[in-house]
Amino acid sequence: MKTLGSTTTSYRLTELKPNTTYNIRITTFDTSNNESEGITTSVKTPPPPDVANLILSPSPYSIFAKWINPDDPDGLGFIGNDLYLNEKLITSLDKNTTTYTFTDLSPNTSYTVKIVSKYNGGYSSSGQTATAKTTIPIEDITDLQADAKYDRVKLSWKLPDSEFFSHVKIYRKKIEQQSFWDQLFGATAVSAATTSDGYTPMFETNGTYWTDLTVTPDTTYSYKVTSVNIEGNESQGVTIETKTPSEPAPVLTGVATTQNENGDYIVTWTSPTKGSVKVLIGGKSYTVVDAASQQVMIKKEDMKTDFFGGYDAKLVPVGQFGTEGQAVQVPAVGKKIEFPITFDDFMKTVVNILSWAAPLILVLFVFVFWRSFIAFLRKTIFVKGGRMKS
């Protein structure tokens, strides 16, 4: 009880407990100490202060929380915080900690975070709460591989095991080596593209492979495969670099010649069926046809013959990217060349045969002509009387 003067109209009650209800009764009395019945009121002290500026930053499998600890202006003795997730106590932190990450959460799920501040004497704040929803994950593909041929590159990969996966996007970047000095210092040039990192969009699929049929031989490419989730968000992607080999020289096989009713020559072949075939007559270009046609017509008045009476006409296969194969002699009508052989190949074969047979021929020559050879030496070296000619 506290007695106040007749002119006092306010009073502060101190050393009360936080978050506690108090009944306050005020009475008046006169000079004869006669006291009135008075009035009574109930007051509840507020709880200790909570943390401020609670901010939650969600990711697919975690939530990062940060806050500002209370200043404790009333000197209650702030000692730390209890952190709750969906009303379950997760951890207790000291008074100097202002961040925490809740882990092992489920994606695309709402969570409520509550922070209760603790004070000396066992007092606690009412708690500061905030709600956040974990995001939908974007998981990259795995085991990206590239199989490069001269005219194609096949990419394959494994899809992420996620219910939120939608599809992949495939990008390509052509890498061109520059000068010797640029190569020495590791500089490269990239072809024009539509993305900031130099990649050109090529294809989208929810499958596990894709074949690029727009490559050129002897070229280095970098491929990037990104994942897109059901919300349309795209991952950073996985990259792989590969180089296409040089185009192999095409080979003409199954070459044959016939004549039509006009006497024109129809030259056919069984392969190749890609690229083109160039016709040479008398060593000069006559025409170029698509290899897929598998035939070419040479007018009878345009055909020429060589010294031995054969056709002075050759076919030269040319690959899709300009690589020329070995020339093949146009065979006579009714004959067929299954496998081409060049003049160089013919001469090498002859030389190999002669190198093997020459010693045998020489020995045979000595056995057959040795008597005549000795007689010839005697006639040319010696004269009558056993004296040599001068």
| Strands (DSSP E) found in 291-337 | 295-298, 313-318, 328-329, 336-337
Q: In terms of C-beta density within 10 A (0-12 exposed, 13-18 middle, 19 or more buried), how is residue 272 classed?
A: buried
Rg (CA), the chain: 49
39-44 vs 21-26, strand pairing mode: antiparallel
Query: pLDDT tens per residue, the chain (390 residues)?
Result: 667 666 777 777 777 777 778 788 887 887 777 878 778 888 877 788 999 999 999 999 999 999 999 987 666 789 999 999 999 999 999 999 999 999 999 999 999 999 999 999 888 999 999 999 999 999 999 999 999 999 999 999 999 999 999 999 999 999 876 555 555 555 444 444 556 788 999 999 999 999 999 999 999 999 999 999 999 999 999 999 999 999 999 999 999 999 999 999 999 999 999 999 999 999 999 999 999 999 999 999 999 988 777 889 999 999 999 999 999 999 988 655 444 445 555 565 566 666 766 677 776 766 666 667 677 666 766 554 545 444
Look-up of token digits 């050129």: 216
Domains 142-243 and 255-340 share a fold: yes
Report in angstroms the alpha-carbon separations of 335 from 172, 256, 264: 49, 6, 16
Question: Which residues does residue 217 pair with via DSSP β-bridges, in sequence order?
Answer: none
How far is Cα 359 from Cα 340, in angstroms, rounded to an integer?
31
User: Which CATH architecture best describes the domain 1-135?
Assistant: Sandwich (2.60)
The 10 Å Cβ neighbour count of residue 173 is: 20
Per-residue model confidence (pLDDT) at position 184: 57
Q: In terms of C-beta density within 10 A (0-12 exposed, 13-18 middle, 19 or more buried), how is residue 125 classed?
A: buried
How far is Cα 221 from Cα 148, in angstroms, rounded to an integer?
10
Q: What is the fold, at CATH topology level, of the domain defined by 255-340?
A: Immunoglobulin-like (2.60.40)
Domain boundaries, the chain: 1-135, 142-243, 255-340, 343-390
284-290 β-sheet, strand order: 284-290, 276-281, 313-318, 328-329
Q: How far is CA 281 from the centre of its chain?
A: 49
Per-residue model confidence (pLDDT) at position 39: 85
The number of CA neighbours under 13 Å toward the Cβ of 316 is 15
Specify the pTM: 0.65
Per-residue model confidence (pLDDT) at position 7: 75
Question: What's the CATH code, domain 142-243?
Answer: 2.60.40.10
DSSP per-residue string spanning 140-207? PPEEEEEEE-SS-EEEEEE----TTEEEEEEEEEEEEE--HHHHHTT-EEE---SSTTS-EEEEEESS
How far is Cα 390 from Cα 387, in angstroms, rounded to an integer?
9
Q: Contact at 8 Å (CB) between 154 and 146?
A: yes
Positive or negative: CA dihedral 168, 169, 170, 173: negative
The 10 Å Cβ neighbour count of residue 204 is: 13
Per-residue model confidence (pLDDT) at position 347: 60
